[in-house]
């Protein structure tokens, strides 16, 4: 069973007024979110490799909210146990974890080198290499993801790469 999203009051207002400054892509996804379609349904209709990222942005900006699919009946999450945000970072363990930090750093740098190239991402690669902790790497996450999805091959692999990175960052 896949995650199902519904528009919030802010999402409905955006559809009516176009006041939020959404990109055409974000607006198209917002329009397709109806509280019935799963993420997989949306993916097949929109044929986009960065759908999960777009849904995450819409969720973070308060245009949509996640719903639970329970025994075939959907209901909005209120005070029940909430599903995690699809873009949420895992909680960091107490204290520093240098191994996990290095894994995240290496993953980000290696994927940029493979999908974008060292020359095309030299500034970002340098900032990732010099990041002094998980919080700093997390600040670079959106820029990393954008660089990946802007490459032809990276766009195809973006969601899988994103999932792997979120396990260690």
Encode pLDDT of 87-97 as tens digits.
567 777 677 78
Asked if 144 contacts 112 with a C-beta cutoff of 8 angstroms, the reply is yes
Residue 72 has pLDDT above 60, yes or no: no
User: What proportion of the chain, given as a percentage, has pLDDT over 90?
Assistant: 26
Q: What is the pLDDT of residue 82?
A: 41
- The two structure tokens encoding residue 117: 């190239």
Q: Does position 152 have pLDDT exceeding 90, yes or no?
A: no
38-52, 75-89, 115-129: least confidently modelled range: 75-89
Question: Listing from the earlier edge strand, what are the strands of the sheet with 64-70?
Answer: 4-7, 64-70, 73-76
Model confidence at 103: pLDDT above 90:
yes
**Predicted TM-score of the model (pTM):** 0.53
Cα distances (Å, whole numbers) of residue 85 to 54, 61, 78, 117: 12, 12, 14, 31
- Which tens digit of pLDDT belongs to each residue from 117-132? 988 888 999 999 999 8
């Amino acid at each position: 069973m896949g995650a199902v999203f519904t528009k919030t009051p802010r999402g409905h207002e955006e559809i009516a007024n176009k006041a939020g400054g959404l990109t055409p892509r974000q607006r198209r996804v917002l329009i397709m979110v109806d509280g019935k379609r799963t993420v997989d349904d949306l993916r097949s209709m929109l044929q986009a490799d960065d759908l999960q990222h777009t849904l995450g942005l819409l969720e973070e900006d308060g245009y949509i909210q996640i719903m639970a699919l329970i025994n075939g009946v959907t209901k909005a999450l209120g005070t029940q146990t909430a599903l995690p945000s699809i873009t949420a970072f895992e909680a960091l363990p107490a204290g520093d974890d240098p191994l996990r930090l290095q894994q995240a750093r290496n993953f980000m740098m290696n994927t940029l080198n493979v999908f974008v190239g060292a020359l095309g991402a030299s500034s970002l690669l340098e900032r990732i290499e010099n990041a002094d902790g998980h919080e700093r790497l997390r600040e670079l996450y959106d820029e990393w993801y954008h660089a990946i999805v802007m490459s032809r091959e990276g766009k195809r692999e973006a969601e899988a790469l994103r999932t792997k990175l979120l396990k260690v960052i």
